[in-house]
Amino acid sequence: MSDLLGGPVEAAAGLAVYGADAVDKSAPASTRDALVRAEVPGRLAAKDASLWGPDAEAEAKIRLGWVDTHRRSRELLVQLAELTAELGDLDHVVLAGMGGSSLAPEVIARTMGRPLTVLDTTDPGQVRAALGDRLERTVVVVASKSGSTVETDSHRRAYWQAFLDAGMTEAEAGRHFVIVTDPGSPLEATATEMGAFTVLADPNVGGRYSALTAFGLVPSALAGVEVAELIDQADELVASLAGDRDNPALALGAALGAAATLARDKVALVSDGTGIEGFGDWAEQLIAESTGKAGVGILPVVVESPRSPGATGPDVLTVSYGGALAPGDTPGGGASPDVAVNGPLGAQFLAWEYATAVAGVVLGIDPFNQPNVTESKENTNKILASGLPAETPSFTEGAIEVYAPQGAPGDLTGVLRWLLDALGDDGYVAVMAYLDRFADADTARLRTLLAEAGGRPVTFGWGPRFLHSTGQYHKGGPQVGSFLQVTGAVAEDLPVPGKPYTFGELQAAQAAGDRQALAGRERPLLRLHLTDRAAGVAQLLDAAGELRA
């Protein structure tokens, strides 16, 4: 860990990056100097699509709009003010969107203290609970860049049906939707059929870089956030992005890249408690999906607090984030991260996008594609068409069916230990829970228990949400992971209107599809199926707790 206060601070527009210089200097040659010699800051600010090599150039040409998209987003402000006024009676805002189409508004709304229900699950219980909540007063923002994401389309169908079932006419139901999508997507056409209000987003910005486009701003504005402020904050940072000095986003990118090349290729994302809520989940998708490919990558590990297990480690770069610090405040919130990033949220979004693109230059990968995400999706589609593969549990203990490879131990604590023991010095565990993230929230405690017991980084993701985030890294990044998939019995299923499957079947097919993709990589993989969710979660936490002893 560096002495954050002792080293130089790189700041612009109220955004300060502490500790980056020490990380860069810990390498035999400065990554930052190499980036400056290659004129990366100026070229990136000027949207030079050749920065990531010839193979990435075609995609980069249509994906660099994020550098200044916030300026174009200003044009939305009048429209958003009118829309918010027009829909003033609909005060329950639901956002249906996956990955880059929901993570930024979730951070914005949480940070600004505005209520926003994010629906990014296929869990029947969680979807049913959302549908049953204040329907008459609900406006559903359906957000999908491609317009073809199965989860989001399923939510749209379920809400449409629910509005009709509640006695609304189609015209009345259409008023309860706002569609955000790219021009020309299939969803744009559907929106017209539905009579829904449509906002077209900047097509030259990829999903995980879209925080300051319509994807980030429309749901946030409807939830009552003054989004102009975010645009101003990003705009103030822009002038620094072309510079070789006083460029905090460059300092952050160089530190992320330098650390990764020194085998510190896990980044623990820690809130320092100074007013930015949930930013780790947004940065997790940005970093994992952008860098985890071609066998390399940076693994983001979202940790609960600076003192949580896995927040530090020999191959971990600990990065704290938070709002602008008041005079006298210490960066890092009482802990001592390697790097601290403090500043206003709008500037944070832009700085991390820039830093991730810079890390992509250092790693030699294309930060704008997600080549391995389709694999699980295709498996899921095949399973939906042909039915779930027949599988027999290796053994059942209490409320948990255990599906483990041959040769693994025959008791729950034993198989969990087996999963941890399979880890190398650079390994990590990914816990992937296809459950209800509210009703089954306790499951997330597995992360700390396994990190404590194994002494290695452990990530936790709710399925299918994580498939649009760390899912890319699991399959495309370094093959050093051990995978724990948790599925659960469905008490009451829910049809996906107009489709031959239910939400429960879709959820099960997504879990099975991803299992197939992971199994093909021959990494340790364990599936635990909870035949009774509450009892199973309690039992699982007990078993994981015993590992420490």
Ligand X SMILES: O=P(O)(O)OC[C@H]1O[C@](O)(CO)[C@@H](O)[C@@H]1O
Nearer to ligand X, 209 or 403 (CB): 209
Residues 196-255 that bind ligand X (CB under 6 A): 207-208
Q: Which stretch binds ligand X (CB under 6 A): 140-148, 162-170, 411-419, 516-524?
A: 140-148
CA 120 to chain centre: 11
Nearer to ligand X, 31 or 198 (CB): 198
Dist CA 519 CA 246 (whole Å): 46
Give the tokens for residue 484.
């724990």
Q: Which stretch binds ligand X (CB under 6 A): 145-153, 312-320, 402-410, 534-542?
A: 145-153
Nearer to ligand X, 98 or 173 (CB): 98
Sole binder of ligand X in the list 32, 128, 145, 533 (CB under 6 A): 145
Nearer to ligand X, 207 or 253 (CB): 207
Say if CB 366 and CB 56 are below 8 A apart: yes
Taking the complex as a whole, how short is the minimal distance between the CB of residue 317 and ligand X, in angstroms?
24
DSSP state letter for 117: E
Taking the complex as a whole, how short is the minimal distance between the CB of residue 459 and ligand X, in angstroms?
16
Residue 235: how many other CB atoms lie within 10 Å = 19
Query: What 3-state class would DSSP assign to 226?
Result: coil
Give the tokens for residue 351.
């700085």
Taking the complex as a whole, how short is the minimal distance between the CB of residue 299 and ligand X, in angstroms?
17
Sole binder of ligand X in the list 93, 96, 221, 373 (CB under 6 A): 373
Taking the complex as a whole, how short is the minimal distance between the CB of residue 467 and ligand X, in angstroms?
6
Position 376 contacts ligand X (CB under 6 A)? no
Nearer to ligand X, 468 or 474 (CB): 468
Position 152 contacts ligand X (CB under 6 A)? yes
Give the tokens for residue 261.
């090349």
Nearer to ligand X, 373 or 451 (CB): 373
Omega before 306 within 30 of 0, i.e. cis: no
Residue with tokens 């090599």: 53
Nearer to ligand X, 22 or 130 (CB): 130
Residue 479: how many other CB atoms lie within 10 Å = 12
Q: What is the 3-state secondary structure (H, E, C) of 401-464?
A: EEECCCCCCCCHHHHHHHHHHCCCCCCEEEEEEECCCCCCHHHHHHHHHHHHHHCCCEEEEECC
Sole binder of ligand X in the list 468, 475, 527, 533 (CB under 6 A): 468
| Crossing angle for the helix pair 124-131 and 150-165, to the nearest 10 degrees | 40
Position 408 contacts ligand X (CB under 6 A)? no
Taking the complex as a whole, how short is the minimal distance between the CB of residue 99 and ligand X, in angstroms?
3
Taking the complex as a whole, how short is the minimal distance between the CB of residue 152 and ligand X, in angstroms?
5
Sole binder of ligand X in the list 149, 369, 443, 470 (CB under 6 A): 149
Nearer to ligand X, 336 or 376 (CB): 376
User: Of the candidates 32, 67, 29, 22, which has an alpha carbon nearest to the alpha carbon of residue 340?
Assistant: 22
Dist CA 520 CA 86 (whole Å): 51
The size of the interface with ligand X (CB under 6 A), counted in residues, is 15
Nearer to ligand X, 101 or 459 (CB): 101
Q: Which stretch binds ligand X (CB under 6 A): 15-23, 124-132, 141-149, 224-232?
A: 141-149
Taking the complex as a whole, how short is the minimal distance between the CB of residue 15 and ligand X, in angstroms?
24
Q: What is the DSSP string of 158-212?
A: HHHHHHHHTT--HHHHHTTEEEEE-TT-HHHHHHHHHT-EEEE--TTS-GGG-TT
Residues 87-116 that bind ligand X (CB under 6 A): 98-101
Name the site residues for ligand X (rule: CB under 6 A): 98-101, 144-146, 149, 152, 207-208, 289, 370, 373, 468
